Amino acid sequence: MGYQQSCVYFAPVSQSTVKRDYRALAQVVRQSREVAGLTQEELAEKLGKPQSFVSKVENGDRSLDVPELRAIAHATGLTLVEIVTQYEALLNARK
């Protein structure tokens, strides 16, 4: 008995698409912070990061890994699923 291998092909993603997607995530992070009533400084303190970290994320100058996004979600009173759902909704609205 053999196993059938399957290949999944992912089309290359353009730099403009990546930048657009990072800007959308930055917007969701900023909106989540503002809805939570937090300043950049307050969010940074909750995350144990400098204020410049939050600023760079919100300006799209710094990408996030999943644990960082989860920490931001929790610091703003959301779950990771909720923040990703907001991100997906924003991307879909822009199509």
**Rounded (to 5) percent helix, strand, coil in the chain:** 65, 0, 35
What the chain holds in terms of domains, given with CATH numbers, is 34-93 (1.10.260.40)
Q: Give the predicted TM-score (pTM) of the model.
A: 0.83
Digit-by-digit pLDDT tens for the chain (95 residues) are 555 666 666 677 788 888 889 999 999 999 999 999 999 999 999 999 999 999 999 999 999 999 999 999 999 999 999 999 999 999 999 87
Torsion of CA 85, 26, 28, 20, to 10 degrees: -60
